[in-house]
Structure 1
Amino acid sequence: MKIVSILESTRPIKSDIRNAYIDFSKMTLSLVAVVTDVIREGRPVVGYGFNSNGRYGQGGLIRERFVPRVLEADPASLINDHGNNLDPHKIWARMMTNEKPGGHGERSVAVGTIDMAVWDAVAKIAEKPLYQLLAEQYGNGIAQPHVFVYAAGGYYYPGKGLDQLGKEMQSYLDRGYSVVKMKIGGASLAEDCQRIEYVLKMLQPGQQLAVDANGRFDLATAVSYAKALSQYPLFWYEEPGDPLDYELQAKLSEVYQGSMATGENLFSMQDARNLIRHGGMRKDRDWLQFDCALSYGLVEYLRTLEMLKEYGWSPSRCIPHGGHQMSLAIAAGLGLGGNESYPDLFQPYGGFPDGVKVKNGYVDLPPLPGIGFEGKSDLITEMRALAQ
């Protein structure tokens, strides 16, 4: 049993949208295929992975550093102790050979992309959905494939007014979402309050709005927004300041009594631990958005969950960023609080397997082997083209 090849292709996911910090007009991602010599149904098992939106494709790092290390390793050193499957932890350790501690930047995205593909292959070799494999190996043995999802959108578009924002949000509600999210910080506070109030008036009982500043604010602006937002029944106030400014986050928690969310731009267990230690996050109401596809993959995410447990946090307070099926599988297997979803953006990489519908804010994952990419026809077409 061995990995035969690891292939990467940098793909465009460009869009005219923008948040408070960046536009997505030149956004890319890396698509990766891990090809094994294991045969299932007459074909080699191939695991697939890609990085989340908001960070660019990592083809150079993947091809020049991390793929050669894996392929140059003794294949026997990458097999689990039972000898019946690949070992994601051993493969991860091989990728990180000769990497110094710290420096959790672009390399965490490259490693996380390959790691996703490795876990997809491992679950396919085991002939199980990844969520079931995770529940058996790292959870309580019982997967919960009924997962909460929220709809992320509300970006700033050229010429986009309140009517267009309202139509977008209504389309998400009509598709079964109970929580929708919109961007703030890319306009004035007064204009953003107008936008928030417009959406809130559309919501029915049981429906909520979250807002996301994408790290735009300094402390004074974050506090000004917090005071204004306190009048609204928001699901959360997300990433007000720089993700590494734990002092800003801590001071803001003294002002804003509602729920806050952050963590999507923290790329290691150590950074996540610093947020828990120093960021003033409150385990009874706040949400953690660590995204395995940007932060060294599931191997590192498992370490992060162990760290959270040591600090008294429940995995149910984690709702990962990214809108991909990998985090859905983790949520179902390890009891996370849910997952982000992009109903209309970053396709074909976001979304659910064909036929999966959102009902009252939840989706039910089908029992597909691996992460479940084969169930999404537009996505698996792209993936198989790379592997072939």
Structure 2
Amino acid sequence: MMTSADRIARVRLSSLYLPLDTPVSDAKVLTGRQRPMTEIAFLFAEIRSEQGHEGIGFGYSKRAGGPGQYAHAREIAGEMVGEDPNDIARIWDKLVWAGASVGRGGLATQAIAALDIALWDMKAKRAGLPLTKLLGAHRDSVRCYNTSGGFLHTPIEQVLENATAALERGIGGVKIKVGQPDTRADLARVDAVREHLGDAVPLMVDANQQWDRATAHRMGRALEEHALTWIEEPLDAYDHAGHAALATALDTPVATGEMLTGVTEHAELIRAGGADIVQPDAPRVGGITPFLRVAGLAEHGHLQLAPHFAMEIHVHLAAAYRTEPWVEHFEWLEPLFNERLEIRDGRMLVPERPGLGITMSERAAAWIAERYST
């Protein structure tokens, strides 16, 4: 086996909690399945090699799971020390097997995500390239749409103002949340936004898994007149057959995949024909290494790609996808970093800085609850 002179010398983990300005509610809150979200838990990994190369990565969890991700990462991070940081795939397998007794998916692999992403960041920095250039870019910018302005706790008048502000900022599309117990309220909300935006602006809706099959079909047919870019998570994330039937029945594309936590789960979704648009999330599937496998499956299936959340990571991964993708714009994470992504003419520009192009801000450091170094 070929080796390099460099080795991983240190891994530092940070558990931090990002407070949200306003409690956030989607359909899962209105149906009583979850409480409003007031903070997001983050797991940051900072890796340094013997030759002084550094990489940073992060994962996250909403409402629950943050302490578990941090605890599991702390248990397995020492397995990386002494390894060649360029052997990312082999390190990923080593970390998975180090914690295999609790599974090779879900929280166990989500804890690996920050470590894996940090390795890719280091590798790109070492090459002096933005991550997408290291992967093999197809474009230097990606279509983007805003989600954060359209949650269900937000009055419709404010949703309309938020949509206008997003477009004025240069964002290319708008997504709003639906899935309320009263479907008439959903239809009225979509009607208002479409009328406000006009027919030319891309508009998406997201039911956050809260419809049953019959409701999804009825709502899908009722929404056809609005020429939506997609309907997201109309059904339970694991109802692949239901999603497939809906995708066949509707002209509007069906998007899903953000809640799936591994390559195998995405493979089952794609095999079932359950999505026109696949929405993998690198931190949720275990990092960039498994994300690239999911993207390969999606490309093989001639599917569109629209990664979920974490635009700071996904702008790079989307820019490396063969066909034109979308990236989701959330400004929530901006306080964590010193840098800002540039948006222009409906597109998010890939940073020209090496690696992911992000560094943790002093403000983020103040939110750290625990820290561990190997």
Give the TM interval when normalised to the shorter protein.
0.7 to 0.9
2:56 to 48, 55, 72: 48
Distance of 1:125 and 1:197 partners within structure 2: 50
1:338 aligns with 2:326: yes
What letter matches 1:278 in structure 2?
A
For residues 224-260 of structure 1, the C-alpha deviation after alignment (integer angstroms, 9 at most, x for no partner) is: 2112112221111110011001121122223322111
Is the CA contact (8 Å cut-off) linking 1:31 and 1:383 kept in structure 2? no
What's 2:281 paired with?
A: 291
Q: How has the CA–CA distance of structure 1 residues 204 and 107 changed in structure 2, closer, same or farther, with 3 Å as cutoff?
A: same
Q: How has the CA–CA distance of structure 1 residues 353 and 145 changed in structure 2, closer, same or farther, with 3 Å as cutoff?
A: farther
Indicate the structure with greater strand content. Answer: 2
What letter matches 2:344 in structure 1?
K
Measure how far apart 1:108 and its partner are. 2.8
What letter matches 2:301 in structure 1?
G
CA RMSD of aligned residues (A): 2.7
What's 1:138 paired with?
A: none
What's 1:185 paired with?
A: 179
Gaps of 5+ in 1: 80-84, 136-141
What's 1:82 paired with?
A: none
For residues 182-204 of structure 1, the C-alpha deviation after alignment (integer angstroms, 9 at most, x for no partner) is: 00012511111111111111224
Distance of 1:274 and 1:197 partners within structure 2: 34
What's 2:43 paired with?
A: 31
What letter matches 1:86 in structure 2?
N
1:17 aligns with 2:29: no
Q: How has the CA–CA distance of structure 1 residues 251 and 323 changed in structure 2, closer, same or farther, with 3 Å as cutoff?
A: same
Percent identical pairs in the alignment equals 26
1:372 aligns with 2:357: yes
What's 1:207 paired with?
A: 201
1:5 aligns with 2:11: yes
1:115 aligns with 2:96: no
Is the CA contact (8 Å cut-off) linking 1:53 and 1:346 kept in structure 2? no
Distance of 2:231 and 2:178 partners within structure 1: 10
Measure how far apart 1:53 and its partner are. 5.6
Q: Secondary structure at the match of 1:267?
A: coil
Q: Secondary structure at the match of 1:368?
A: coil
Measure how far apart 1:87 and its partner are. 2.0
TM-score normalized by structure 1? 0.82
For residues 271-303 of structure 1, the C-alpha deviation after alignment (integer angstroms, 9 at most, x for no partner) is: 11111111443xxxx211011111111111122
Gaps of 5+ in 2: 1-6, 29-33
Measure how far apart 1:71 and its partner are. 1.7
Q: List 4+ stretches of structure 1 deviating above 4 A.
A: 100-103, 382-388
Distance of 1:35 and 1:305 partners within structure 2: 26
TM-score normalized by structure 2? 0.85
Q: How has the CA–CA distance of structure 1 residues 272 and 102 changed in structure 2, closer, same or farther, with 3 Å as cutoff?
A: farther
Is the CA contact (8 Å cut-off) linking 2:37 and 2:63 kept in structure 1? no
1:301 aligns with 2:291: yes
Measure how far apart 1:28 and its partner are. 2.6
What's 2:31 paired with?
A: none
What letter matches 1:367 in structure 2?
E
Which is further off, 259-268 or 219-228? 219-228
